[in-house]
Amino acid sequence: MANKILMPKLSPTMEEGQISRWIKAEGDAIEANETIAEVDTDKATMEMTSLEAGTLLKIIVPGGENAKLGQTIGIIGEKGEDFSALLDEASSNGSASSQQSAAESQSANGSQTSESQKPKAESLSENVSETAGRSYDEQRPDAAEVAKNGEDSQSKIQNPKSKIQRLIVSPIAARMAAENGVDLKSLKGSGPNGRIIKRDIEAAMESGVESRESGVETAPEFSASQVQGASAFREENTSKMRQIIAQRLAESIGPIPTFYLTIEIEMDKALEFRKQINASVKEEEKVSVNDVIVKVAAMASLKHPFVNSSYRDDKIRFYEDADIGVAVAIDEGLITPVVRGANRKGIIEISREIKEMAGRAREKKLQPEEYTGATFSISNLGMFGIKEFTAIINPPEAAIFAIGAAKPTAVVENGEIVVRNVMSVTMSCDHRVIDGATGAKFLQTFKQMLENPVLMLM
């Protein structure tokens, strides 16, 4: 008997998921508890397993599309079974795709979906950052003319008047091409609708395709008559991670009464402290300035309980340990792996955990419990040369650090001008929990510990 495959709840905060890719294709046999698809939740890519054995009769929500919890995304049953009733039901609930009408006429006779309707293996093999966003170039007049003339819809669309080519390129592929000097116009995309994707750039780099810098190609010259009308554009499906980031930041900046405190900290002793640690460990265990900051922030927050707390309507929840969230930039946005009980761990152990989790975060392999439930967060842009900025609180946390770069600065010390490495730190505070004086005292403790790391032992 055919059954619907429903979008499951794969993380605590998940309200809908985005199909990263279907591992199984229509017509494939499936065992119970076998992985059939990968789903992007708010911060990670999770495996979705089948609850029963059978044949994947129909994929309703294709790769790259979103589905709400409990929405029908596919149908499983016995090979050759009539599942038209389930398709009708899915369509009436608004969960069927726009291409389903053709499939319904075939399934009413119990026939299998033709090979031409199966999802392409190439599109299935890409992760969420490479799944096909829709290009709207095909809506432009020149593209319509191409379609009318029956030309290959997957080739690059060219305006014969201006000789300008428009390419469909994924964001990651565009960035990789720019960084490595790969000429996109020399490539043929292997993604959906001829889209140039990550693996095309990697293949070009491996085969030694001539770069724009090394070639003799010159920049095209445009006259006023060549550039006409609005600029060409492309649109990408918003990833599930980016949707959640937008949602949570809007939740944060609206209802949370936030104020900001900035302090400057002399980092010379902290840098010397880090140097001493690295001199005594192996290369792979060397620690960063941020690892030291995580440890100091954990120790300081326990001395000021309101900083290590969260507002819960009619209650304030105080945490016994400092679980520090460390912001990590990935292709799709931002994720904050959590160092549990950072106050109880050494700096080398903290460093090891951050490296390991950051690596898995970039591969979207973190589990929900590894990036949720922090009591305090740190966002560090110092490595990019940013001197000072503000960060948005991640609810329900009460505060977040924005760490700038430590730069040589002239300061007055005992009536003399000396050069010190000075770092700017801005704390965003939830005023429902942290008052100005509370935040200021916490920053004083944090400053004292960084300027004299031995105080962490007291």
Q: In what order do the strands lie in the sheet with 3-6?
A: 3-6, 72-77, 54-59, 29-30
- Please, which residues bridge with residue 37 across strands? 22, 48
> Are 420 and 331 within 8 A, CB to CB?
no
Cα 378 to Cα 360: distance, rounded to the nearest angstrom:
19
Q: What is the DSSP string of 231-273?
A: PP----PPPHHHHHHHHHHHHHHTTS-EEEEEEEEE-HHHHHH
Nearest to 421 by CA among 441, 436, 404: 404
Q: Which one from 431, 441, 448, 451 is the annotated catalytic residue?
A: 431
In 301-389 the beta strands, taken as DSSP E runs, fall at: 309-312, 315-318, 324-326, 328-330, 333-335, 338-339, 376-380
Q: Using H for helix, E for strand and C for coil, what is the string for 82-99?
A: CCHHHHHHHHHCCCCCCC
CA atoms within 13 A on the CB side of 114: 7
Exposed/middle/buried for residue 189 (C-beta within 10 Å: 0-12, 13-18, 19+): buried
What contacts 359, CB < 8 A, 6 or more positions away? none
DSSP letter string over 207-227? HTPPBTTTS---PPP--TTT-
Q: In which order are the strands placed within the sheet that holds 16-22?
A: 45-49, 35-40, 16-22, 66-68
Owner of token pair 């492309």: 234
**Cβ atoms within 10 A of the Cβ of 146, count?**
21
Active-site residue 304, yes or no? no
Q: Give yes or no for a contact between 37 and 27, defined as CB atoms under 8 angstroms apart.
A: no
Residues with active-site annotation: 431
